[in-house]
Structure 1
């Protein structure tokens, strides 16, 4: 009479699909139902992930076999520890719980192909003396979430190609194709826009194909496997015509995702857009397509709400009435001149090389300081002060004080050619006023005459 009535294993699902990914925790239980008390050497459970490839190729009248193996992880847990004296398990039902944490390193998704497979498996084994081991296994559907640079997969793809047609027909054909993005989840739709300019004398048919390419690697050799997942054909394009074609292709719901993180097996997809030209080579454009797990699709949809402005712009168009400067030191972008942050960085970068003029100086030019009647600083009624030229390399002289000018000795502190030496020398002044000085005063005295000058003509 056998001792074991049943030996089973179950695990808890984390989602509706029952899939696991990097870093997930696998929990479950092993159930041992015995007809009678049984002596057991050990009971353990293990989980592992492996990739294997193998194929045979005939060459030089001989069969050559190529194979490769890759182990990603292996975890083991004893439910009944191994004991030299064995362990007696009484009759009845015995339940043993287990828990494993899958490593968080990048690992490929489960896959089964013509020449290889990637398998993640739970195995429970019961060992008894003088008996064959009892084993129960369950494959774990593993879906990798290791996809670098996910945001770039949501960017649309654009390509253009043209060719001259000869031999049986003449002319040129041009095809411009836009695909809405690169990454798709199973069940999503690929949206394609093709603009075709047939300037030749031949008819041509637009065709679209989604192709899966699997490559197996072993001992510096490769084995390729290619298959068409889905395809579409549009109406013929007549000679000397131009057409825009919109095509929608759905990714099958059960389609295997892209595998690009396995050393011995790779699974990739490409979208082939081509023109089937009569009596000529086809005009063909290929786009990469990445099939993503369903769990990543919502994250990518939310990551595309970037708006029409570049990432460094944090505001919309400015409502300022000021014209933007001619040059910006910030990022070069068609929108950089329409963002509030862009204006700020531009103005900071466009500060003049010379110090700004004091506000008081500007005010004094526009509104001269009133002088009492008979003052030696009185100016003729037709006298007009003009703004100075652009600031020189050195600091400009200070603005006009409201007190009497300093002693003549203090004037020697200033350079002989101050910032205002380009003002008109004296056409607008009274010549008698200047001629009464013993020696010609510096240009500075045009604004502030010396105290020893005769002011009788200035009244």
Structure 2
């Protein structure tokens, strides 16, 4: 078959939409302008979710100056739009042509979009036109953002306690309790952490709270884990010796925080870290796991 002489190739999503939810329909148009002829069987429109993790360990070590590179890349899914049979073997002539397409995102079992220096979860719609006669391929893609929120155990409360006996630089006992009334939150929401301190010791103590994100990247049996503080420590009120104290410490979730993710390549987790600062002694600590989801999963839409 003669060369296509492609003059324009464009992929347009309906309503120019860029953000989708798991279970949504993704639809749009592929526009083609050309001077030659084209078999529709040589046109492929696909919808892909790609996960990738990559990091380097021990760079600069003798005999391994570049370090050991760990790289994992996986297709979570790759759907190809099936044209109606009556059109699949047709031939397009010279001129302008418009081809509609649509896909349905799975309702569950897919990760949310994510990107960092060590990995990503990427979604995109791609159109490929193959010209086997001249060994040439034309390609165009459109990235989209997909939210696939966690929906289980969002409304259960989470709590913990820690205790300590002082001996060398003080005396008496200390007890720290903390809880949140639910486990699921949205980005931009404020977490209200209920802190209680029983200070039956000879020193004054102060609670503080920090929100952390844990990023876990996996490559076979190897993994890389990073803990990132998303907030500065938020300091509560001093609890004086031989007294008890209770307060709510408010911790904001950054607006740009990604959704919690659990996948074979990348997992994103969050926890509220509560510390009781004790002078001249090892502090008390409590970690409360939370889930960052969206309003739909929490029934707020």
Please give the range of the TM-score, normalised by the shorter of the 2 chains. Answer: 0.7 to 0.9
Contact 1:180-1:190 at 8 Å conserved across structures: no
The answer to whether the 8 Å contact 1:186/1:294 transfers is no
Assess if the C-alpha contact under 8 Å between 2:179 and 2:288 holds in 1: no
Shift of 1:73: 1.7
Instruction: Please name the residue that 1:143 is paired with.
Output: 147
**What is residue 120 of structure 1 aligned with on the other side?**
123
CA contact (8 A) 2:112 2:148 kept: yes
Q: What whole-Å deviation, never above 9, does each CA across 1:317-366 have from its counterpart, x for those lacking one? A: xxxxxxxxxxxxxxxxxxxxxxxxxxxxxxxxxxxxxxxxxxxxxxxxxx
Paired residues of 1:43 and 1:78 also in contact (CA < 8 A): no
The residue aligned with 1:40 is 38
CA RMSD of aligned residues (A): 2.7
Compute the displacement of 1:78 (Å).
Answer: 6.3
Whole-Å separation in 1 of the counterparts to 2:32 and 2:92:
13
Alignment of 1:41-440 (within 5 A): 42-58=42-58, 61-62=63-64, 63-77=67-81, 81=88, 87=91, 89-91=93-95, 93-128=96-131, 129-130=133-134, 132-145=136-149, 147=151, 150=152, 152-231=153-232, 232-260=234-262, 262-298=263-299
Q: Aligned pair in 2 of structure 1 residues 74, 238: CA closer, same or farther (>3 Å)? A: same
Structure 2 CA distance for aligned equivalents of residues 94 and 14 of structure 1: 19
For the 8 Å contact 1:47–1:120, the answer to whether it is kept is: yes
Larger RCO, structure (CA 8 Å, separation 6 or more): 2
Normalising by structure 1, we get a TM-score of 0.57
CA distance in 1, matches of 2:231, 2:177: 22
8 Å Cα contact 2:149/2:259 also seen in 1: no
Instruction: Report the CA distance between 1:192 and its aligned residue.
Output: 1.5
Q: Which residue of 1 aligns with 2:8?
A: 6
Q: Compute the displacement of 1:290 (Å).
A: 0.7
Aligned partner of 1:403 in structure 2 is none
Contact 1:73 1:103 in 2 (8 A): no
How far residue 124 of structure 1 moved from its aligned partner, in angstroms, is 1.0
**Structure 1 unaligned blocks of 5 or more:** 302-459
Q: Contact 1:67 / 1:219 at 8 angstroms: preserved in 2?
A: no
After TM superposition, give the deviation of residue 131 of structure 1 in Å: 6.6
Residue range with higher mean Cα deviation, 205-214 or 119-128? 119-128
Deviation at 1:267, TM superposition (A): 0.7
- Tell me if structure 2 keeps the 8 A contact 1:66–1:219: no
Q: Are the structure 2 counterparts of residues 273 and 32 from structure 1 closer, same or farther at C-alpha, using a change threshold of 3 Å?
A: same
Distance 1:194 1:56 in 2: 40
TM-score (norm 2): 0.85
What is the rounded CA distance, in whole Å, between the counterparts of 1:3 and 1:200 in structure 2? 84
The size of the alignment, in residue pairs, is 287
In the TM superposition, residue 236 of structure 1 has moved relative to its aligned partner by 3.0
Deviation at 1:256, TM superposition (A): 0.7
Deviations 1:21-70 (CA, angstroms, capped at 9, x unpaired): 1x332111011234xx1243622211111212122212674232222233
Partners of 2:130 and 2:159 lie apart in 1 by 61
Partner of 2:19: 18
Q: How far has the Cα of 1:81 moved from its partner? A: 4.8
- Once the two structures are superposed, what CA deviation does each residue of 1:358-398 show, in whole Å capped at 9, x if it has no partner? xxxxxxxxxxxxxxxxxxxxxxxxxxxxxxxxxxxxxxxxx
- Is 2:150–2:297's contact at 8 Å kept on the other side of the alignment? no
Higher strand share: 2
Deviation at 1:223, TM superposition (A): 0.4
